[in-house]
Amino acid sequence: MVHAMPLVQGAEFKILLTNNHVVLHGSADESAGVMLRGSVVLDCHETTKVRSVNLKFTGKVRVNWAEGIGTHQRQFRDEHTILEHEWSFLPPTRKHYQLAEGHYQWDFELPLPGDLPESVQHNLGQVFYRLKAVAERPTFSINYTDKKEIKITRSLLPSSLELTQSMVISNEWANKLRYDISVPSRVLNIGSVVPISFDLKPIAPDLKVRSVTSGLKEYITVSSGQRKRTEGRVIKFLRDDQFQVDSHGHWSKVQLLTIPEEESHQIKTNVLSDLIKIRHKLKFTVSLMNADGHISELRAAVPIIIAAITPDDDINALPAYEDAWKSMPYDPATIAAMVASGSLPPSLAVAVPNEAAFRARTTAMGDTESGVEEETSPWEGIDLSRVPSYTTATRSGRLYSFSGSSLPAYDTIAVPGRNGEAAVCT
């Protein structure tokens, strides 16, 4: 990380980001993208002259590898620009800008497409995203610069089928063995512990299991033109030769395979781009000893997805717009004030059976003695602590609606906390 540092001319120049770790939600075909926001800040401690202030965002994918030995060695290189954008906060001029002592800030935002490849750092190739700000100074003066690396990862949507797919290999092999090998999910997360279950049933007489091994292997494929290079490496390897035989004659075992943490740099997440592809497989080997002493091996493999985070761990994932109020910290005065101001419809307030809702309803609907007829709530006389059946719920319809002109702005859902602190929606 590059840190802004005080400059000899009495100024500090830096890029500030709301978040330098961007999470894309869903696959490349599903993701709607995300907005990158930040500011370029120049703090002048004295009158400062600049010719221009610019910012550039660059996203690139780059590959580089060698094939052959000695004089026959050939180098392959390729580079593509994924995305590029420039901002000119103070356009270049023949004359310089004279900035008085003070704080200068230029805000920016950039929509990042949902099909961007994730960030990768590998000896065969890289996918990187970078911001560079430059305040150009007059001749013979040192320019002010600052850089920020943007990390892009991807999180599957909670509705993705891959999250609910368990991996099971079940078959009979060569009239010797019936086997079931199972993994609870196709998607494995960085730093997680994965249980791999083996259930082996011998068919041939006097068959013995010598050992069972499990391995996590990573494959990276880089390409340049028509040339491709693929390398594979074993990330994790487990071997077990201790089995328990149950009353039905099964050998059973559960191996616990730990996915390395991201900080260890031992593993990369799955990536799919034009020049770099990273994929993973779980590989299994069951070594058997036959009655005649001959050794046989059963081999199997399943493709998996290594993800950086799960949807549940993604703190940047926003709730659906109509559900955003549900995650708001409960505060009776705030609810009443939002309904009174029109930010939330009265139907929402009365849908919440509590004292604040009653006060909000009274405020919004007025006093019945002043000539306003009091509405009859559809749930009056019903025990609200009981959950209705599905059939009853579908007949009754929704108790509130966000349709019409009463939609609150999304940012109004974040409300001030107590003691001057911001309340965070959880």
Taking only the tens place, the pLDDT of each residue in 144-187 is 999 999 999 988 888 777 777 788 999 998 888 899 999 999 99
Query: Torsion-angle region of residue 419: left (phi > 0), alpha (psi -120 to 50) or beta?
Result: left
Give the whole-angstrom CA distance, residue 195 versus residue 173: 23
| The pLDDT of residue 210 | 87
* Residues in Cβ contact with 400 at an 8 Å cutoff, skipping those fewer than 6 apart: 345, 347, 348, 351
| The pLDDT of residue 181 | 94
pLDDT-above-70 percentage for the chain: 69
Q: Does 94 or 22 have the greater pLDDT score?
A: 22
Nearest to 240 by CA among 227, 249, 251: 251
Segment 123-133 shows an average pLDDT of 95
| The pLDDT of residue 80 | 92
Segment 83-107 shows an average pLDDT of 93
> Angle 85-86-88 (CA atoms, 0-180°, nearest 5)?
160
Q: Does 25 or 350 have the greater pLDDT score?
A: 25
> Angle 275-2-265 (CA atoms, 0-180°, nearest 5)?
50
Q: Does 272 or 159 have the greater pLDDT score?
A: 272
In the chain, the largest separation of any two C-alpha atoms, in whole Å, equals 99
The arrangement of secondary structure in 161-312, i.e. its CATH architecture, is Sandwich (2.60)
Give the whole-angstrom CA distance, residue 62 versus residue 222: 9
Taking only the tens place, the pLDDT of each residue in 194-221 is 999 999 988 888 888 888 999 999 999 9
Ranges of each domain in the chain: 11-155, 161-312, 321-420
> Is the pLDDT confidence value at 358 over 50?
no
Which range (81-95, 116-130, 230-244) has the least confidence? 230-244
Give the whole-angstrom CA distance, residue 240 versus residue 286: 10
Class of domain 11-155: mainly beta
Q: Return the half-sphere exposure (C-beta side, CA atoms, 13 A cut-off) of residue 170.
A: 8
The whole-model pTM stands at: 0.66
| The pLDDT of residue 298 | 92
Q: Does 365 or 248 have the greater pLDDT score?
A: 248
Segment 50-70 shows an average pLDDT of 93
| The pLDDT of residue 420 | 35
| The pLDDT of residue 343 | 60
